[in-house]
Structure 1
Amino acid sequence: MNIITVTSENLEEEHICCAITNNKDCQVASKKAWLAERFSDGLVFKKGNVRGKCFIEYIPAEKAWCPINAEGYMYIDCLWVSGKFKGQGNATLLLDDCIKDSKEKGKKGLVILSSKKKRPYLADPKFLKHKGFKVIDTAKPYYELMYLPFEGNVLYPKFKDTVRNPAISEGGFVLYYAHQCPFTVKYVPIIEAIAKDKGIKFKTIRFETTEQAQNAPAPFTSYSLFYDGEFVTNDILSDKKFEKIITEKGLSTPAR
């Protein structure tokens, strides 16, 4: 498999969005707009020369949409290889290319957001540990900051203290999200509509700048849902998943 680097020059023609095949889909448009605004920050998007989930996205940690302190590191937003492209060494191929590029740019190492066990939209800890990554910091309820240093005696990356125990002061549902993940543009309005229909207090806050994301109340800035001040999930919810949470919170009578 050959690796293609997506830039502002070829962004419109390249397939970049996970399982979304239609290049005119609103999810694709939102993701491409987000990428276009980040290229000047040093963001890199590399993909296999295929249509599917086979890509890596990374950016200098100082510009990462994640509340961390990791000066001099490269932050991996997403490494995703799935479906028929798994089990062929493609994840290693993409990661190795990222390592090579990051070393050439003089970075101290790589940083990535993971969890104690594999969770939706977070990097696979088992794969990362196999590749030499180590857990360097943690945040409740399950987040792990993993890193791969390129040299010894470097400053350790860490979470900002404000996200070690994710919580907010507002009541009801509050959803923080960004168009960094293309799925949010489709699924956020779906659960907004459900909450409105049921008369449930629901507020959305979209991150539109790096500064906003770096001051988020939880580590995963693409999607973090809170209820009555407590963190609920980072999983981008479908209508059925949100209905289940509503029921669990005692806000709706389960269907008979």
Structure 2
Amino acid sequence: MRQLLEDGFFHADPHPGNLVATEDGSLAYFDFGMMGDIPRHYRVGLIQMLVHYVNRDPLGLANDFHSLGFVPEGTDLHAVATALSVAFGDGRRQSNDFQGVMNHLYDVMYDFNFSLPPDYALVIRALGSLEGTAKALDPDFKVIESAYPFVIGRLLADPSPDMRKILRELLIRDDGSIRWNRLERLIAAISQQSSEESSKKPGDENTASSSDWRSFDMHSVVSATEDLFHFILSRKGWRVRVFLIQDIVKASDAFLQETTFPGIFEEEGNTGELNPE
């Protein structure tokens, strides 16, 4: 992920013969005959595609494919979005397995004459090869799921307008409602990282840990949070404010019902449904 999304220069053939784990826990690469160079525009596009995939936004994905030049000019993007919706099914078929995602996409790519730039084809090869290598060690490994915290870290750390826009898309729906589950996951991840950092003992700075690769820069988190609040309070964010107030009123109403009238509502089911007894 660092190679793909930060440096833009990556090893495109990470099969087991080209990788060695050293005694100190580092990863050594061999055979640099197949390398890829991915410009910033494509790196941002990768992050945006992942966010639109996670948000189950087929039209957003179709627009990503168009802006990156994957589909020919004049292609009906709504038709592409419809095909993507069919390919991904009802959500239960949505996969965090890279090969599973590609299996969903192949038919759509063929039907709409997708044309991938050479370096993007290398990205697909590299991720597929890497996931295969990782699955040999852990059959449950999913490269997209594993990449997600890193992508969030990139969104928080990069103050550029395009990254801030992607962060807003991740947390706020098109109609202005907030994706509370995403926001909760993001806050939990930041909180966990913060507590891990504060519990480090002196001298631990140079010790590698499994969470180092998903570290959050707290200055970046504060900056991104300020940016999000500025958007919510801006003229463009009026819809978000309306939904935010509605959500607060609903939550307050549910809390008051449970606190003021304990026991008269159904134990199971939606809060607010009176118990017939």
**Which category describes the TM-score, using the shorter chain as reference length?**
under 0.3
Structure possessing the higher radius of gyration over alpha carbons: 2
Structure with bigger strand share is 1
Which structure carries more relative contact order (alpha carbon 8 Å, separation 6+)?
1
Structure with bigger helix share is 2
